[in-house]
Amino acid sequence: MEQINKNNGATNKLLNGVAWGAFFIVLGITWIASLAYTIDFAAYLAIGAGIILVAINVARVSMRTTLSKFSLFVGMLFLALGTTGIFGYSMPLIPTVMMLAGLFIIAEGLQKLSTHPKQEA
């Protein structure tokens, strides 16, 4: 089993700062683009926020700190809703949340299966 980084607090603070900075950059870009082109850029903002939230968790795992299941879940939700919005579809929020929750439950079960050694019957 991999060793978890002992400096979780400082690492999380650094990653959160980078994520917030990236979010404000994405927010500013989409705001300026929506003013310049007079179209709705909410889907692009959702995709940007989703990418940031998923990326911060990828960084946490690569730095061997604990990942945030909540921010990963919200990031995947934003990615799903934003991607469908770009293609002109709208996904209903509650069924989408339920589907992603099911995926998280399955992934957690598979992770537990892969980390526990197989027992001889």
Q: Which two tokens stand for residue 38?
A: 């007079």
Q: What is the pLDDT of residues 23-63, one digit of tens each?
A: 999 999 999 988 888 777 889 999 999 999 999 999 988 98
Listing DSSP states for 55-68 in one string gives HHHHHHHHTT----
Determine the structural domain holding residue 74 and report its residue range.
8-115
How many domains, in total, are found in the chain?
A: 1
Residue 20 placed within a domain: yes
Q: Is 3 helix (H, G, I), strand (E, B) or coil?
A: coil
Residue 61 placed within a domain: yes
pTM over 0.95: no
CA 88 to chain centroid, in Å, comes to 22
Asked whether residue 107 carries a pLDDT value surpassing 70, the answer given is yes
Residue 39 placed within a domain: yes
Residue 121 placed within a domain: no
- The answer to whether 81 and 48 are in contact (CB under 8 A) is no
Residue 89 placed within a domain: yes
